[in-house]
Structure 1
Amino acid sequence: MRLTIEGIGKDFPGVTALDSASFEILPGETHALMGENGAGKSTLIKIITGLYRPDRGRLLVDGKPVDFHSPRDAIAAGISAVHQERNLIPRFTVGENIMIERPPTRNGVVDFDKVHAEARKFLDMIDPTIDTRTEVRHLSVAQMQIVEIAKALSLEAQVLLLDEPTASITGHEADALFAVVRRLRDEGKAIVFVSHKLEEVMAISDRVTVLRDGRIAAAGRPIAEMDRGKIVSAMIGREERVAEMGKRDIDRSKTVLEAKGLGTSFGHRDISFQLHKGEILGLYGLVGAGRTELARALIGDAKITAGELRLNGQAVTIPDVPTAIRRHKLGYISEDRKAEGLILTHPIRSNIAISVWRRIASGLGLISRASERKVVEPLVAKLEVKTPSIEQAVGKLSGGNQQKVSIAKWLAAGVEILIIDEPTVGIDIKTKTAIHELIGEITREGLSVLLISSDMPEMITLADRILVMNDFALTGTIENSRRYEPMSREIMGFIHADTEPCAAAAAHG
């Protein structure tokens, strides 16, 4: 099936999201769609899948104009998508979510055994470890993303649009997805692949279209004619800038956080490591390795069942998250900033000030906007949050600016240790560089960071040392040479090693 985008335009109040976008998607190809946050990629995908109506232009399928009024119209025409925003029903099972558009029936009643059998077929293409009978609300963010992909595959569409499908999954799952993409392409399907990860685009795509400020900057260019520099230049209108991390002094004589033989209610065992003042300590592993779960145990969101946690040399027990923040100055930026880290309908002002309301409240417990502004405005300026005012709803900011607000919240709270989980998921190249430099800056000012990332280039760029986790145990600790090839080989060596708690982890502290 050939899909033609012809002169598509879309306006929102005060902004033109798409302006005369034209290009063609052919059967039997993987077509990358690139651009910075706000370039118009997601808007275009929502038009193609019937979520939005175009204000100008038209779509054609095999040369015939089509007019989609809903996603079901697009599905009926053979088009399905994995959107950035998750569209799963939390209290339905994995299988029910995957097969929700086309549930198998028997005598007019949904056949749930067949639902799970069919769902299993599509889920096994990416991750055979997820139970189809588990309710989606019990899954990790990464597992939810895999279910979204399996759901799209179940529709067996002729055109499959993947909007940041690898944003929350690691290399192992991404490789499985790419194998499926190649097979679908070879079967004559058309795949539209949206990603900020240029290495993936170069590896998987046949052609690339680049959007910049709602306009086409490069249309259907063969990937063989492009390189990283040309794609980035088309995206941002200039050459790529490498993050300037600057000189950072790590005080290895001062251990701010130490885990000694920790076990958790999630199933971690014998976890030992040290985090030093001013250090960025990486925690790398595949989806399901237990990284986010360990972070949650450290901040009191789960129980530590064995071993000892020490902060600044003192053994501590953290019963809940407020205690972590207020008493121990330990903060956590969630991997799911939209669902857990921010209140999207509230303004920047209250999202940042919420962490210090107790401190700035009057004697009667009242909080004035003036006292909030006094805290918030300097941080918004320092972190260069792009917004017309601090009264802007956080949900209307780009992903990069939302992440800056998350960081500002914890800087306002005066934390000394910050756990950052997937800091640049879904963030474009230019903004990713800014976030990396911001993380470097806060450590130069004395904060210590425990960094969780599924993006290996990001991990090797930022971390001073890297802990490798597999199956809820540490399997290795590596001093970061910042040379990508040898570092990635060493990390993957520990990933695929037999899973045994690593005594060396503490020794490298």
Structure 2
Amino acid sequence: MNDALVATGLSKSFPGVKALEGVNLTLRPGTVHALLGENGAGKSTLIKVITGVHAANEGVLALNGEPRTFASPVDATRAGVGVVHQERNLIPDFSVEENITLQDPPRKNGIIDRAKRTEQAAAALKSIGVDLDLKAKVQTLSVAQMQLVEIAKALVTKTKVLLLDEPTASISGSEADKLFEVVRVLRDSGTAILFVSHKLEEVFEICDTVTVLRDGVSVLESADLAEYSRSQIVELMVGRQLAALATRLRTVDRTSVPALELISLNTSLGHKNVSLDVHRGEILGLYGLVGAGRSELARTVLGLHSVLSGEVRVNGRAVKIRGVGEALNSYRIGYVTENRKEEGVFLDFTVTRNIAVTVWRRIANRFGMVRRSGEESVAAKFIDSLGIKVSGPDQLAGNLSGGNQQKVSLAKWLAAETEILIIDEPTVGVDVRTKAAFHELILDLADQGLAILLISSDLPEIVNLADNILVMNGYMVLGELENTKDYPTISRQVMGMIHDVSVGN
């Protein structure tokens, strides 16, 4: 049997940048192949070359043993190469079946054949064991369901090679398990699958073979994954051994007045009787599946949604916060959002302006003018202390990698000298080295006395960092656990809480 897809010696250059240099990749039918590397290693560029978004400067691409050149993604799709990107490519107002058949809707006498469209969409979903309402608008689906629609959309065109780019970045562990079931069904049916992820636990669970890119070069090519340990893969990705994050028990004074306290909070979004407290120097982990209401709770604390009853207290005093600005200026609360591209940074502003924006009041002169030198002084401190990789302080934030954008989002709140910091999904979509750096940074901030509410769908991350863990589901708090750093035990306790509630419903 021919290999499904073989890339040999692929190179791609952009002005001033060699994105790929002599990359080799082999995808075989009936296997799941991991493509790994840090942010900027060339993974996305390789996918874009394979699917016809970019033309390679050098190298050969072969599909089922035949040399091929794809002029566009449509060309690649028609040849049987499908791709599911991390950022979803669906039309929210269209139905599930309309989205699935969007690339090439069936026609009869020049008019879309609706009966055939329904038949094709149903067949695509059935092939991966997924049951969805074909007439439902995509905007009503969960993030995980949207991801499955993306896969069905790729399969409706008779895909034999499927490229999955960070498919689990925005979904919970249980939803990822469903996705993996689908991946296994496709693998067993003979589909060749490329799986890109920063989550190595997923890679070792689902993948058979592996290619590692570093600085645009394939440093490991189509190898048997079972022959490598996690630490060996990390070393190949970063070019050196990466020091393991020390899992340490921290001592927190919980006898003092909490920095942030919620008492029997009921909200307009449906939160019921939510109580929690975070003390200075403490990291409280807020864990739950996607849709549990964690981010919505944080946004309610910041005054972005209504409190129906109950109290929000800051340093022991009941408060009513009416917006992010008031949360910062009156109560020293900062919020590092999970949606860094739309809410965390101003993509068209410089890095300097993004960092200094929260302190304009402080650095303005008596006429209200903000001097550039003042902004630069503030920004330089945090560019250095957080290790933000920039070509210069005037680089646009939109041109930074995802990990560096996240650091800029954090820097602006640190510049404002916040005392309470809500950090929402800090490491989604960042590589292993950046993730480790973020973990160290969060621990350091807590050691300096910040009260931190950490929201994450990554349970190992919560166990690594949190002092105590609050479990949410269905906009309610299920319980609180003291974090013993014993991951297997904590995992069983957390999943037991969530399962008991699910069964009860």
The alignment's TM-score, normalised by the length of structure 1, stands at 0.91
2:344/2:406 contact within 8 Å kept: no
1:257/1:276 contact within 8 Å kept: yes
SS at 1:387 equivalent:
coil
Q: Is residue 498 of structure 1 aligned with residue 501 of structure 2? A: yes
* Cα offset, 1:152, TM superposition: 3.4
Distance 1:483 1:373, change over 3 A: same
Give the equivalent residue in structure 1 for 2:305.
302
Q: Is residue 45 of structure 1 aligned with residue 47 of structure 2? A: yes
- Please give the per-residue CA displacement for 1:60-97, whole angstroms capped at 9, x wherever unaligned: 11222211121101101111112233333455455543
Give the equivalent residue in structure 1 for 2:206.
204
Which residue type is aligned with residue 280 of structure 1? I
Equivalent residue in structure 2 for 1:181, among 180, 183, 200? 183
SS at 2:7 equivalent:
strand
Equivalent residue in structure 1 for 2:442, among 439, 462, 477? 439
In structure 1, C-alpha distance between the alignment counterparts of 2:295 and 2:147, rounded to whole Å:
16
In structure 1, C-alpha distance between the alignment counterparts of 2:115 and 2:299, rounded to whole Å:
35
Task: Report 1:111-190 matches (<5 A).
Answer: 133-134=136-137, 136=139, 145=147, 147-190=149-192
Which residue type is aligned with residue 494 of structure 2? I
Distance 1:248 1:350, change over 3 A: farther
* Cα offset, 1:320, TM superposition: 2.1
Which residue type is aligned with residue 34 of structure 1? L
Which residue type is aligned with residue 7 of structure 1? G
- Please give the per-residue CA displacement for 1:440-496, whole angstroms capped at 9, x wherever unaligned: 111112211111111111111011111111111111111111111111111111111
Equivalent residue in structure 1 for 2:361, among 358, 362, 379? 358
* Cα offset, 1:131, TM superposition: 8.7
The number of aligned residues is 500
Distance 1:480 1:130, change over 3 A: farther
SS at 1:217 equivalent:
strand
SS at 1:497 equivalent:
helix
In structure 2, C-alpha distance between the alignment counterparts of 1:109 and 1:87, rounded to whole Å:
24
Equivalent residue in structure 1 for 2:459, among 456, 461, 465? 456
- Please give the per-residue CA displacement for 1:31-76, whole angstroms capped at 9, x wherever unaligned: 1111111111111011111111111112111222211121101101
Q: Which deviates further from its counterpart, 80-89 or 316-325?
A: 80-89
Distance 1:46 1:373, change over 3 A: same
2:118/2:134 contact within 8 Å kept: no
Equivalent residue in structure 2 for 1:62, among 61, 64, 69? 64
In structure 2, C-alpha distance between the alignment counterparts of 1:373 and 1:245, rounded to whole Å:
36
Give the equivalent residue in structure 2 for 1:348.
351
Give the equivalent residue in structure 2 for 1:421.
424
SS at 1:293 equivalent:
helix
Distance 1:302 1:109, change over 3 A: farther
SS at 2:171 equivalent:
coil
1:473/1:499 contact within 8 Å kept: no
Q: Is residue 242 of structure 1 aligned with residue 211 of structure 2? A: no
* Cα offset, 1:145, TM superposition: 4.6
Give the equivalent residue in structure 2 for 1:472.
475
SS at 1:169 equivalent:
coil
In structure 2, C-alpha distance between the alignment counterparts of 1:448 and 1:165, rounded to whole Å:
32
SS at 2:366 equivalent:
coil
SS at 2:258 equivalent:
strand
Give the equivalent residue in structure 2 for 1:485.
488
1:126/1:150 contact within 8 Å kept: no
Give the equivalent residue in structure 2 for 1:271.
274
Q: Is residue 255 of structure 1 aligned with residue 258 of structure 2? A: yes
1:9/1:57 contact within 8 Å kept: yes
SS at 2:193 equivalent:
strand
SS at 2:271 equivalent:
coil
1:249/1:444 contact within 8 Å kept: no
Equivalent residue in structure 2 for 1:378, among 378, 381, 384? 381
1:126/1:146 contact within 8 Å kept: no
Which residue type is aligned with residue 186 of structure 1? D
In structure 1, C-alpha distance between the alignment counterparts of 2:466 and 2:477, rounded to whole Å:
16
Gaps of 5+ in 1: 502-509
Superposition CA RMSD, Å:
2.5
Equivalent residue in structure 1 for 2:325, among 322, 325, 340? 322
Q: Is residue 335 of structure 1 aligned with residue 347 of structure 2? A: no
In structure 2, C-alpha distance between the alignment counterparts of 1:372 and 1:99, rounded to whole Å:
50
In structure 2, C-alpha distance between the alignment counterparts of 1:113 and 1:293, rounded to whole Å:
40
* Cα offset, 1:103, TM superposition: 3.4
In structure 1, C-alpha distance between the alignment counterparts of 2:160 and 2:273, rounded to whole Å:
49
The percent identity for this pair of structures is 52
- Please give the per-residue CA displacement for 1:163-212, whole angstroms capped at 9, x wherever unaligned: 11111111111111111111101101000001111111111111111111
* Cα offset, 1:116, TM superposition: 7.1
- Please give the per-residue CA displacement for 1:100-158, whole angstroms capped at 9, x wherever unaligned: 2133556644467876786577678588688963463x777666555544543444411
Which residue type is aligned with residue 43 of structure 2? K
1:120/1:132 contact within 8 Å kept: no
In structure 1, C-alpha distance between the alignment counterparts of 2:130 and 2:84, rounded to whole Å:
16
Distance 1:404 1:187, change over 3 A: same
Gaps of 5+ in 2: none
Which residue type is aligned with residue 49 of structure 2? I
